[in-house]
């Protein structure tokens, strides 16, 4: 019998044997040497359920007979290798094969009595006790299953299992299972795509040598005349020299304005050229600065090296009004590359990167295997959520250790990651790229003044004494209220404004600053990173030290003044618990340290912050009791709550919903397209969207100011939105939402 795996509309067919062997070959090709045998075994077994007559009836004659073809492969490993020499490999294979369509399941337990859950243990128990005929045994005529014979990885896992606390074992096992799952699911998808759409192309251009020369040429164009410019040149030269050779993790701590971005990019390109790395991945905490970073890279690289932007705001299709459209085939290749990150240069977010590493769905995990042989740059790495420090650092450690990749950590306010890696990724080489910090003093262009508790009127009055001043507050409501009190030329920035309007306002601010005209700006913290503006004075409401120092980066940025002024003040308003913790630590450091920019002060800040969150940090690993990871010492079955942990792993804790501000012809046009299923239009609408927390959305719905169109919330009355200040709940009374 000719067993069919896929059938196209024009009646072409792919045999199950061909699909299994090709998927196995591709999975092996995807994998690092340590995992190649295991990946091949997964590919060969993943669809043996398609040998069933039930599946063949469905694909050949359109039968509606219900049949779960993903489970038989896992069931075979459960039956044949329940007590093998190497049970860990069999367990990994069971997870990956059973979940290759629906995602990695929770492990559950392999007790005698099957329950009604969808855990792997329950599903396999139910299948093993099924009295009907699964009828897939014809696979034995064409396929022989196996378990890898290389015991290197098995012995490493065994050693970590028998530690006093086997946290590392569970984390390693889970990472390697997700990685194997990535190798398998991407191979399965690509082989199916090649059969069904043989004309589709995925190859993107890559010329790292040309790109490196372009970046080097650009760096050489910078004139080094002032003491600051000479210091920048020396720091970068020091980083380049110390980066030679390989290191799992490199720490690049350089002051604001010292050129960290281009410096790190040059280091990454040098590593890619010298050691044959396949890709460079640039990870940024904010979507607001991704596009400008990617645009800068594109200007430098030209058309020689393709850049994939992967974040919520990016549209792969070219806009009909753009003067220079991407070639249609390039746009399509970029869209396809976003599925599995098969691209030479990727610019993405912390959310996309880390949540993908800990996800359970194939749509997110497909990219994991393509992190191998990469240089991964983490910009503003201090922005990692404190409660996720342990899993994030462990993940970086495993990517470096097992996948032959290198990580570069960037920040002007760097925690002591070396010590943290020693704890959560012991034995991982960590190298400091800046060892001589004497040039840091050249970048200190501000005086810090602690005003203590004061009122908004006093801040507004003091800000008026400078030609250009920036006031940064902790709450959006505060920004709006203070803006109303200001006189003269003033601007407001907050996330109650759409990204489109914020960009317009920032452009206007730049014009005023360039013309040296008087201007006062009041903003939330969104202005602290990636917005290159230069004010004579900055007023920062008390918060974490890292935010205060980032705010100071907007003061006397170009060094035109002998010294700018940064004022730190309190208002007495109630803050969120997290900001309260950070503000209290900062307040104490202001009394303790004369120089809050010193590396000692920064290190002390993070030590105290991490100590405050010690329990949250320590508990966030799969070995903690609350996650119920276990090993059955008789069968070797490892139970990991893959799905439960993934749903809990969130880089952004606030539940927010975007509402579209439909106040121009462009948004109406995009809305109509989006209602007809145009995904590109939905993405473009991100530029005209404001995100609301759950209670804010409920208030807006109760007020009757929102409608739904195509599953999207839309502001129905434009009187509730102002281009200058953003969203209003009660337009008549100017009540900010």
Asked if 433 contacts 243 with a C-beta cutoff of 8 angstroms, the reply is yes
Residue corresponding to tokens 């210091």? 231
The answer on 408 and 302 residing in a single domain is yes
Bridge partners of residue 567, in order along the sequence? 449, 539
Rounded CA separation 387/283 (Å): 19
Residue 656 clears pLDDT 90, i.e. is over it = no
Please report the pLDDT score of residue 491 as a whole number. 97
The answer on 150 and 9 residing in a single domain is yes
Token code pair at residue 246: 């390989």
Question: Exposure of 61 by Cβ count < 10 A (0-12 exposed, 13-18 middle, 19+ buried)?
Answer: exposed
The answer on 662 and 696 residing in a single domain is yes
pLDDT category of residue 649 using cuts at 50, 70 and 90: very high
Please report the pLDDT score of residue 468 as a whole number. 97
241: domain CATH number?
3.40.50.300
Residue 322 clears pLDDT 80, i.e. is over it = no
Whether 641 is in a domain gets the answer no
Residue 61's H or E segment, with its range, is: helix 53-61
State the number of CA atoms in the 13 A half-sphere of 101 facing the CB: 10
Please tell me what DSSP assigns to residue 113: S
Whether 569 is in a domain gets the answer yes
The answer on 392 and 450 residing in a single domain is no
Rounded CA separation 347/494 (Å): 24
Reference 598, options 443, 716, 461, 397; nearest CA is 443
Asked if 425 contacts 389 with a C-beta cutoff of 8 angstroms, the reply is no
Whether 162 is in a domain gets the answer yes
Q: Which of 545, 574, 596 is the last residue of a domain?
A: 596
Whether 619 is in a domain gets the answer no
The answer on 335 and 427 residing in a single domain is yes
The answer on 505 and 385 residing in a single domain is no
Average per-residue pLDDT in the chain? 89
3-class DSSP assignment, residue 400: helix
The residues near 495 (Cβ < 8 Å, ≥ 6 apart) are 476, 524, 526, 690, 691, 726
Whether 650 is in a domain gets the answer no
Whether 609 is in a domain gets the answer no
Q: Which of 135, 165, 196 is the last residue of a domain?
A: 196
pTM comes to 0.91
Token code pair at residue 557: 């940025």
The answer on 469 and 425 residing in a single domain is no
Whether 394 is in a domain gets the answer yes
Going across the sheet that includes 706-709, the strands are 689-693, 656-660, 712-715, 706-709
Residue 109 clears pLDDT 90, i.e. is over it = no
The answer on 78 and 190 residing in a single domain is yes
DSSP structure string for 542-591: S--HHHHHHHHTTBSTT--SS-EEEEEEE------HHHHHHHHHHHHHHH
pLDDT category of residue 213 using cuts at 50, 70 and 90: very high
Rounded CA separation 736/721 (Å): 10
The answer on 495 and 433 residing in a single domain is no
The answer on 580 and 549 residing in a single domain is yes
Rounded CA separation 174/168 (Å): 10
Please report the pLDDT score of residue 267 as a whole number. 97
pLDDT category of residue 618 using cuts at 50, 70 and 90: very high
Enclosing domain of residue 173: 4-196
Residue 558 clears pLDDT 90, i.e. is over it = no
Residue 320 clears pLDDT 70, i.e. is over it = no
Question: What angle do helix axes 36-45 and 16-30 make, rounded to 10 degrees?
Answer: 160
159: domain CATH number?
1.10.3210
Whether 626 is in a domain gets the answer no
The answer on 233 and 149 residing in a single domain is no
354-365 tens-digit pLDDT: 999 999 999 999
The answer on 665 and 569 residing in a single domain is no
Structural domain tally of the chain? 4
pLDDT category of residue 723 using cuts at 50, 70 and 90: very high
Please report the pLDDT score of residue 722 as a whole number. 93
Sign of CA dihedral 247, 251, 257, 260: positive
Rounded CA separation 284/382 (Å): 11
27-64 tens-digit pLDDT: 999 999 999 999 999 999 999 999 998 888 888 887 77
Rounded CA separation 417/628 (Å): 28
Please report the pLDDT score of residue 81 as a whole number. 57
Q: Which of 437, 454, 483 is the last residue of a domain?
A: 437
């Amino acid at each position: 019998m000719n067993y069919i795996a896929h059938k196209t509309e024009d009646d072409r067919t792919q045999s199950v044997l061909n699909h299994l062997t090709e998927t196995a070959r591709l999975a092996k090709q995807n994998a690092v040497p340590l995992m190649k045998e295991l990946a091949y075994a997964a590919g060969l077994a993943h669809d043996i359920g398609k040998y069933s007559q039930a599946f063949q009836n469905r694909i050949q004659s359109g039968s509606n007979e219900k049949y779960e073809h993903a489970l038989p492969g896992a069931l075979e490993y459960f039956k044949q290798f329940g007590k093998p020499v190497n049970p860990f490999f069999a367990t990994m294979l069971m997870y990956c094969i059973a979940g290759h369509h629906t995602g990695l399941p929770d492990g559950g337990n392999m007790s005698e009595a099957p329950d009604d859950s969808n855990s792997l243990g329950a599903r396999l128990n139910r299948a093993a006790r099924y009295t009907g005929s699964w009828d897939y045994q014809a696979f034995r005529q064409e396929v022989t299953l196996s378990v890898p014979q290389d015991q290197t990885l098995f012995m490493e896992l065994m050693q970590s299992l028998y530690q006093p606390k086997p946290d590392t074992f569970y984390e390693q096992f889970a990472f390697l299972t997700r990685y194997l799952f990535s190798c398998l699911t991407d191979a399965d998808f690509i082989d199916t795509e090649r059969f069904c759409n043989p004309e589709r192309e995925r190859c993107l251009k890559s010329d790292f040598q040309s790109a490196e020369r372009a970046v080097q040429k650009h760096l050489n164009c910078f004139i080094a005349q002032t003491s600051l410019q000479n210091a920048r040149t020396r720091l970068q030269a020091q980083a380049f020299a110390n980066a030679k050779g390989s290191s799992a993790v490199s720490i690049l701590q350089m002051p604001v304005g010292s050129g960290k971005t281009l410096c790190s990019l040059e280091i990454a390109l040098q590593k890619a050229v010298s050691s044959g790395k396949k890709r460079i991945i640039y990870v940024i905490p904010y979507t607001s600065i991704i596009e400008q970073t990617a645009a800068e890279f594109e200007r430098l690289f030209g058309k020689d090296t393709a850049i994939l932007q992967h974040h919520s705001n990016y549209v792969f299709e070219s806009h009909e009004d753009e003067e220079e459209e991407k070639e249609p085939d390039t746009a399509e290749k970029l869209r396809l590359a976003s599925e599995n990150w098969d691209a030479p240069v990727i610019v993405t977010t912390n959310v996309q990167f880390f949540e993908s590493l800990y996800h359970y769905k194939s749509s997110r995990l497909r990219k994991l295997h393509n992190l191998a042989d990469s240089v991964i740059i983490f910009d503003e790495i201090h922005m990692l959520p404190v409660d996720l420090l342990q899993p994030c650092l462990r993940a970086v450690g495993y990517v470096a250790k097992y996948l032959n990749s290198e990580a570069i950590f960037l920040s002007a306010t760097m925690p002591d990651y070396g010590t943290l890696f020693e704890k959560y990724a012991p034995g991982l080489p960590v190298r400091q790229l800046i060892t001589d910090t004497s040039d840091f003093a050249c970048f200190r262009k501000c005086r810090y003044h602690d005003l203590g508790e004061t009122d908004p009127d006093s801040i507004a009055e003091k800000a008026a004494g400078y030609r250009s001043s920036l006031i940064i507050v902790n709450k959006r409501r505060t920004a709006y209220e203070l803006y109303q009190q200001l006189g003269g030329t003033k601007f407001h920035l907050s996330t109650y404004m759409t990204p489109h309007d914020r960009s317009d306002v920032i452009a206007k601010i730049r014009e005023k600053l360039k013309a040296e005209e008087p201007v006062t700006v009041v903003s939330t913290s969104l202005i602290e990173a990636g917005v290159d503006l230069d004010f004579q004075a900055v007023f920062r409401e008390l918060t974490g030290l890292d935010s205060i120092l980032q705010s100071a980066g907007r003061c006397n940025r170009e060094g035109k003044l002998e010294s700018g002024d940064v004022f730190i003040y309190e208002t007495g308003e109630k803050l969120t618990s997290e900001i309260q913790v950070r503000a209290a630590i900062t307040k104490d450091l202001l009394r303790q340290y004369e120089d809050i920019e010193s590396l000692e002060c920064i290190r002390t800040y993070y030590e105290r912050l991490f100590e405050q969150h010690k329990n949250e940090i320590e508990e966030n690993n799969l070995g903690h009791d609350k996650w119920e990871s276990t090993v059955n010492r008789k069968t070797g079955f490892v139970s990991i709550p893959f799905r439960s942990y993934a749903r809990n792993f969130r880089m952004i804790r606030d539940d927010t919903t975007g509402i579209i501000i439909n106040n121009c012809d462009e948004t109406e046009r995009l809305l109509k397209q989006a209602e007809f299923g145009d995904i590109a239009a939905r993405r473009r609408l991100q530029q005209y969207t404001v995100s609301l927390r759950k209670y804010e959305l409920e208030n807006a719905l109760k007020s009757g100011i929102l409608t739904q169109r195509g599953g999207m919330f839309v502001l129905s009355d434009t009187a509730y939105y102002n281009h200058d200040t953003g969203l209003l709940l009660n337009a008549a009374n100017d009540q900010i939402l």
